Chain A
């Protein structure tokens, strides 16, 4: 049950537009559910196209030439982001509880992983605000040439439910550091923490219209953002399926810039010379972290044949020891899946694994009589052609596959439409470099998994996305480069 002293139950007037709380134009609302119990937490206003239009107008006004936001010193934009980080740090216990209530992830994780990473991400981009430098360029002829790094303008941002706070920070940090304005749609499953952060955005002093936050559904509010003629850029994190729609909507409307961070089926390669205990624990973490609801989950664990049996045995033991239950219990490692739809989809994949001949080593069923809990599940003898080896399950279901040689495993690891992340466990420096160079993935971890830093870029090859988030690279996706060339009477070096 919730330990929240004063759970934030927003009234339905909770669209955040122009630094004000507004009701939906349609007056519609939708329930947000506690996935640990299946109970309604509260009703939330449901944004649709008319609300998106209002938010875009506010964001456009805030972005107009000469506005307070445009005229603000870059260092002061950074200071605002730092202040936002400070406010989130101040309220971190509350935000962590709210996140757990709405999303189902263990409180111990919300508090010690999600919220601190949010704070660090915002501080990181706060620092960039006045360091995002253009260049002066020695062009041929009697000219003086320089570049300005200008914000793109009004950015639509659509974020998922698996890391609601963190995804919000990943999106806001670079967009605001570079001076854009934002219309953000948060996932309908998990709108609450984003709305609380909206109140902090106002509190720390961002000008009205710079950030607008709308809870709503993808096909309505999300689609309105992606198709909007006055949104200059859209950034989306979510499924590859919806990623296709976003890119099409951009093409069908105003060619807005698109960045996508989509699905994965990430290979995790265990060589026979790896430290066994580390590899087992990290591979367990790589898949089961966040109830398996990670786009970068290590969902194809390739294990070299000579250690396969031992690895399997230890992995099964580890999965059986995983503590599933009340996310507010500090001992809990795994909470519920986010909603009934995901829950049913994962159960379906488990059935397909059994049907297609994979060997169920543990788990495979429902873990509680209410809420959306699923047992930690491991399949052995998984073949590359099976559905569970090809599709993103987004749940606590681990696939272990056997391989013999380096060349073979590189080929098989790359035989997927996805290319988000990958990992290698080996003590051999040559293998480590050779395989990491050979993998078609935006992130490769060596002897570790899920190591994220605000400083390091993240994003996908192939169908896993477009562009990079985090790091200095993340700034590129929020910047237009303007080349200014001035005729001069005489050039000198």
Chain B
């Protein structure tokens, strides 16, 4: 396994940008090909040579406080939390730690910003959209800084942060910037069945208004910190809500930088409040708060259950959840094998395997099974681990010790329960949080590694024989987030994609996400949808207004 640059992490940002042809640029990132968020974003001089973005050397963390009412606050408790670089274990900075009291302050501010007659409520919808568009422009301006911060804080590969996470962030903000003045109510031709008054022989005119829900609590995870931030705030703001958002305690830094940009873009005070903190304290305070109208959570299914319970116990706040997955990726013998191997590989190993939509159950048809396993293991073995800031590195560290330990424990269970270890299977370097890319074959459906979400670089490959069988096995899980199908047969593609119980099905691709396309889970993978037009429903209340009129005409 090639090794690059682990010993030089601190100085890795130093080299100045190097120039290569665009093709070289692309091929140096073997995983981004299947990302819909294309690299050809730089319009204009396509024929000219492009610069590979490089991380900003010795980046100083600028924002470490709690952001309420467009101002920076220290925590009420006086507590701070430590933020580490998972690639080195070094302390990056200390960040103010929000708890219940800080949540109360933020809710008060968000409520004030949502008052009838407030600048935010009176603003033209098109101007709300323009603020989001401007925020997208600012993110684009600070893209390098944000990508560097993201790589340092989460350990993800810098070029991925730059090309995938930040591009998705910019596009999501722009996309919802466009929706703001297109969220249209309807006028409705009421029938007479409800003219319940016996005295008034009335006729009615009815219309709907799509109003914002109010103060929204949003709790986001550490695997795509800035992108999740955008997924959450963009639809909420475009519908006119106000926000209390808690980034994960592992990765608060890009969210705080975004807070700064939100103020710079010109959002009124109180519209967005950013509170770094822990789940059982700040997160729980948000979920239980009596004056928060809606909560959106992305994270584990276990915590998702707590959130839903908290909403039930408190004020019946609306809940959307985007939770875990154990996603089937089904490979038929008639597919393009090399392509399927490649897609299945990146479908699992992308982002160190830390994706809720990771294709973690690869079902391969019997006749190509051995060859598929051989090629997959070879691909995994060739993966380059190392300093995520260095170009050419494919895989960084896991996010923290807890995740690291959990992944290793599941790998051990796989070995113990009889799966065949094709490669990897242990830590990559005893002193750090890196895990070897691991492939298991001969995995059976009852093994823990086939049932539990590992959230790490561990690929399970199963064998199947028939369409009917694989559909049934793929659906035998309490999750239902995403699925993949690889086949050149149009009947198989449509049959299997219809039958799978999953919120997203990719055919002959994987991880093809985009802002326009809804994303969310069946079953215990969640509740509601993010992205696309569908997400707007999760951030609006529909009000039907009925007016008595003297005479109705078509």
A interface residue numbers (CB < 8 A to B):
73-76, 78-80, 82, 120, 123-124, 126-131, 133, 144, 205, 429-430, 433-434, 437-438, 454-455, 472, 486, 488-492
Contact = CB atoms under 8 A, between A and B. Distances in A.
Nearest to B41: A76
A80 B180 CA distance: 19
B495 A78 contact: no
Nearest to B205: A433
Contacts of B547: 429, 433
B181 interface: yes
Given A75-B171, A126-B178, A455-B126, A490 B495 contact: yes
Contact of A472 (B182, B205, B553): B182
B263 to A, nearest CB: 22
A129 B499 CA distance: 32
B179 A131 contact: yes
Interface of B: 38, 43-44, 125-126, 129-130, 133, 171, 174-175, 177-182, 184, 205, 490-491, 494-495, 498-499, 515-516, 533, 547, 549-553
17 contacts: A75-B171, A75-B175, A76-B43, A79-B174, A120-B126, A127-B178, A130-B175, A130-B178, A133-B533, A433-B550, A434-B549, A437-B549, A437-B551, A437-B552, A488-B491, A489-B495, A490-B495
A339 B46 CA distance: 47
A488 B515 contact: no
Contacts of A433: 205, 547, 549-550
Contacts, number: 85
A75 B175 CA distance: 8
A129 B174 CA distance: 11
Sorted nearest first, the 7 A-B pairs with minimum C-beta distance are: A127-B178, A433-B549, A430-B550, A488-B494, A130-B516, A455-B181, A205-B43
Interface of A (DSSP majority class): helix
A488 B494 CA distance: 7
A455 B127 CA distance: 13
A490 B179 CA distance: 37
Contacts of B129: 123, 127
A293 to B, nearest CB: 27
A436 to B, nearest CB: 10
A123 B550 contact: no
B202 to A, nearest CB: 11
Given A73-B38, A205-B44, A492 B178 contact: no
B184 A75 contact: no
Contacts of B178: 78, 126-131
Given A133-B533, A437-B553, A127 B177 contact: yes
Nearest to B126: A120
Contacts of A82: 133, 174
Given A82-B133, A486-B490, A127 B181 contact: yes
A430 B205 CA distance: 11
Contacts of B43: 76, 79-80, 205
Given A205-B43, A486-B494, A488-B494, A472 B184 contact: yes
A438 B551 CA distance: 10
Most chain A beta-carbon contacts within 10 A, residue among B491, B547, B550: B550
Contacts of B550: 430, 433-434
A332 B181 CA distance: 33
Given A127-B182, A205-B44, A437-B551, 15 more contacts: A75-B175, A75-B516, A123-B129, A123-B133, A124-B181, A127-B180, A130-B516, A131-B175, A433-B550, A434-B550, A434-B551, A437-B553, A455-B181, A472-B182, A486-B494
